[in-house]
Structure 1
Amino acid sequence: MITVTSAAGGVGRLLVRQLTAQNVPVRAVVKNEAQAATTRQDGATEVVIGDLRSPKTLDAALTGASVLYHAAPTQIIDERPIVEHLIAAVPANGVQHIVFHSVIHPDLHQLTHHHQKDVAEGLLCESGIPTTVLRPSHYMQNYLEVWEFLQAGVMPYPVSPDSVMGVVDVADVAEAAASILIDPTPHTGRTYDLSTVELTRHEMAEIWSRVLGHPVTAVRIPPSSLTNSLNMLPAVASVVGHAVRSTKLHSFRHLISGAQAASNPRDMKNWPADARRAYRTMMTHYDGHGLPAGDLTTLPALLGREPTSYEEFARRSTAELERTRNDSDR
C-alpha cells in the first residue's frame, strides 16, 4: 500500500491515477468528503479524511502502508510538527520509505514556504528513515488560473513578465514520483530537482499566442493585490486595453469570467492570514528576482524521455479545456 497525502491536489490526483493504472493500491489522504469522492473516482483504494496537522489523521494514513508520498498544502505554514510526527510514527507502522515533496531552492529562507521545506528536509535526513526528496519548480499549470484571460488575449499574474521562472509540468512530476514510489530503494538518500525550462512570462505569452491563434500579452499584477484587491485597480486598464486590441468584442465575456475566477484564486480567502501573507511575500520575491530552474538534466533521466515542453503543455491543456467546455455545453 502506498499512501499519498494531499491526494486531491494537482500532483496528488495525477499520482493516484498513475499508481492505479499500474495496479498499485493507493490510500489517499484528503480534507473533506467532496475530495474523497474525487479521489475515489481517480482510483484510490482507501481514503482517509482529515487534517494533516492532526496526529490522528497521520496515524490513519500510515497504518499498513509501505511507502509514503508526503506533500503539504501551501496554506500550511508550519510543517515541522507534521514531519516530526511522521518521523516518530513511521517505524511503528511499517513504512519503509518516504518520498517528500519539497520545492526548488529550499535555501531561500526569506520565503516561509521554502524555509519550511528546508527544515523538513533536514529533519528527514537526520531521522535515518529511507527518504527521497523531490524539488519541483514552479508549475506550468499555475498559469491556467488565468485561462479565461488567456482566451481574451492577456496573461495577468502577480510576477513581472521579465522575471525568469523555472517551470515544470505537473504531469511529469507525477510520472517521476510514481516511478520512484513503485521502486524506491535505488532512490534512497537522493534529492532530485524537477525542472524543465526557464522562461519569462513574455516568452510564455508568445507560446500561448501561437497556440490560441491570437496575440497574448503578459501583464504584471501587483503582488500586494493578493491580500488587498484594491491594489489591482491600476492594472485593470492595461488588462482591458490589451484584451480589446487582441480579441475585440469577444474579449468581454472572457474578461468577466476571468475576473470572477480571480476574485478568490486558489481559495486564498479561506486561508489563514499568515498563509496569505507568506504567499504574497513569495510572489513579491519572484516578481523581483524570478525563480531559476534547478538541474535541468535530472528530470529527463528520471522520465527516460525529454520532459514536456511549455508549448506541448499549452497545446494539451487547450485541447483538454476546450473538450471540457464542449461537454458542459451539451
Structure 2
Amino acid sequence: MDRQQTARLASSKGLFMTILVTGSTGQLGHLIVERLVARGAAPADVVAGARSPERVEAPEGVRTAVVDYDRPETIAPALEGVDTVVLVSASEPGKRVPQHKAVIDAAVAAGVGRIVYTSIYGGDASPLPLAPEHVETEALLAASGIPATILRNDWYTENYVADVARARETGEIAGSAGTGRVASASRVDYADAAAVVALDDAHAGTTYELAGDVAWTFDELAAAIGEVVGRDVTYVHLTTDEHVAALQAAGLDAGTAGFVAALDAGIAQGALDSTDGTLAQLIGRPTTPLVEGLRAIA
C-alpha cells in the first residue's frame, strides 16, 4: 500500500492526518488554518505554510513551515509527513501556474494523499481574465495523479473594501458591470468550506462551484454600502471605455485598467451569478449576508 492509499484509509477511519495550508499569512490562508482547528483538527496536525512563517498568526499549537512558491527547494521539507495539502492560489497574475506547479510537483514526489485547490467560479467556462491560470492549474492537478478537490470560489465580499471607502467620501461607486450579478460571500465562508473538505477524504475527486446565497446587482451593492456608511450611495454605470479612462485618470496604468474593466465585462456576462447553494450546504449554515460582510470590512 503506497502513502496515498494509506492516507485515504487513515482519513476514512478518522485517524491522524496532517494538513498543510499554503499562503497562511494571506487573507484566505490564515482563515483556513483557523477554521480547520475550529472544525476539530488538532492544532499539531495543521501546518501553516508561508513565505515568512514568523508572520503567521494561528491558533496555539499549529506548526509553521517555509513554503515559498518562488523557491521550490523550500516546499519539499514542508511536506514531510503531510497527508493533505490545501493549495491556496497565489495572488500575482501571470505567475500562478509555475508557482502552483512547484507545489504540485513537490506533493507528487512526497506522496501526498490529496490536494485541495482554491480555484475560480465557473472554471473553463468563465470569461474572467483570471480564469486561464486557474484552469491550467486544474489541468496540472488532473495530470499529477493525486486525488484533488477543486473549490471554485465566487467573489469575496472583501473585494469591495475600496468601494466602501470611496463611497464614504463621495457617495458613489462606479463600474462597467451593467446589470450583472455577483453571488459573493465572505472569505470566512470559503475558508470554512476549505476546512470541511480538507478534513474528509470523501470529497476527493470532486469539483465544487461555491458562491454566496444571494446574487446582487451593483445598484444593490451601492444600497448595501450606503446602509453601512450611513449615507445614500449611487452606482455610476459606465461603458467599458469610460471605465478604463476613469481608472487611468485615477492613476492605474493602461494594462491594469484594462484588466479591471475586463473583470466587470465578465460580470456583466454573468460570470459570477449563482443561486446554487452548494457553499451553504458544505458549511452547514447560510453564507454571510452582503451588508454584514461589508460592515465587517468597514
The TM-score, its normalising length taken from structure 1, stands at: 0.71
Instruction: Say if 1:2 and 1:24, in contact at 8 Å, map to a contact too.
Output: no
- Pick closer, same or farther for the CA change 1:131–1:218 going to 2, 3 Å: same
2:279 to 299, 311, 321: 299
Instruction: Say if 2:127 and 2:271, in contact at 8 Å, map to a contact too.
Output: no
Summarize the alignment of residues 1-330 of structure 1 with structure 2, pairs less than 5 Å apart: 1-21=18-38, 22=40, 23-25=42-44, 26-32=46-52, 36-40=53-57, 43=60, 45-49=62-66, 51-108=68-125, 111-152=128-169, 154-160=171-177, 162-183=179-200, 185-196=201-212, 197-219=214-236, 231-232=248-249, 276=256, 279-280=259-260, 282-286=262-266, 288-294=268-274, 296-315=276-295, 317=296, 321=298
- Pick closer, same or farther for the CA change 1:221–1:18 going to 2, 3 Å: farther
Equivalent AA in structure 1 for residue 43 of structure 2: V
- Pick closer, same or farther for the CA change 1:61–1:225 going to 2, 3 Å: farther
- Equivalent residue of 2:276, what SS? coil
Equivalent AA in structure 2 for residue 48 of structure 1: A
* More divergent stretch after superposition (106-115 vs 116-125): 106-115
Equivalent AA in structure 2 for residue 122 of structure 1: A
CA distance in 2 between partners of 1:50 and 1:157 (Å): 38
* Structure 1: stretches of 5+ with no match in the other structure: 234-262, 322-330
Partner of 2:10: none
- Equivalent residue of 2:149, what SS? strand
Partner of 2:4: none
CA distance in 2 between partners of 1:60 and 1:295 (Å): 42
Equivalent AA in structure 1 for residue 25 of structure 2: A
Instruction: Say if 1:69 and 1:99, in contact at 8 Å, map to a contact too.
Output: yes
* More divergent stretch after superposition (285-294 vs 295-304): 285-294
Residue 103 of structure 1: how far off its partner (Å) = 0.4
1:294-314 Cα distance to aligned partner (Å, 9 max, x none)? 462211210112222212323
CA distance in 1 between partners of 2:71 and 2:153 (Å): 26
- Pick closer, same or farther for the CA change 1:167–1:50 going to 2, 3 Å: same
Equivalent AA in structure 2 for residue 190 of structure 1: T
Instruction: Say if 1:153 and 1:214, in contact at 8 Å, map to a contact too.
Output: no
Instruction: Say if 1:159 and 1:286, in contact at 8 Å, map to a contact too.
Output: no
CA distance in 1 between partners of 2:100 and 2:247 (Å): 38
* Structure 2: stretches of 5+ with no match in the other structure: 1-17
Residue 206 of structure 1: how far off its partner (Å) = 1.2
Equivalent AA in structure 2 for residue 172 of structure 1: D
Partner of 1:244: none
Residue 72 of structure 1: how far off its partner (Å) = 2.5
CA distance in 1 between partners of 2:240 and 2:29 (Å): 27
CA distance in 2 between partners of 1:65 and 1:289 (Å): 41
CA distance in 1 between partners of 2:60 and 2:231 (Å): 38
CA distance in 1 between partners of 2:73 and 2:280 (Å): 38
Residue 5 of structure 1: how far off its partner (Å) = 1.3
CA distance in 1 between partners of 2:276 and 2:142 (Å): 24
- Pick closer, same or farther for the CA change 1:194–1:51 going to 2, 3 Å: same
CA distance in 2 between partners of 1:109 and 1:203 (Å): 23
CA distance in 2 between partners of 1:15 and 1:225 (Å): 38
- Equivalent residue of 2:180, what SS? coil
Residue 68 of structure 1: how far off its partner (Å) = 0.5
CA distance in 2 between partners of 1:29 and 1:44 (Å): 14
- Pick closer, same or farther for the CA change 1:229–1:153 going to 2, 3 Å: closer
1:179-238 Cα distance to aligned partner (Å, 9 max, x none)? 11122x1101111111112111110111222333321222357878999887336xxxxx
Count of matched residue positions in the alignment of Structure 1 and Structure 2 = 277
> Identity, % of aligned pairs?
26
Equivalent AA in structure 2 for residue 195 of structure 1: A
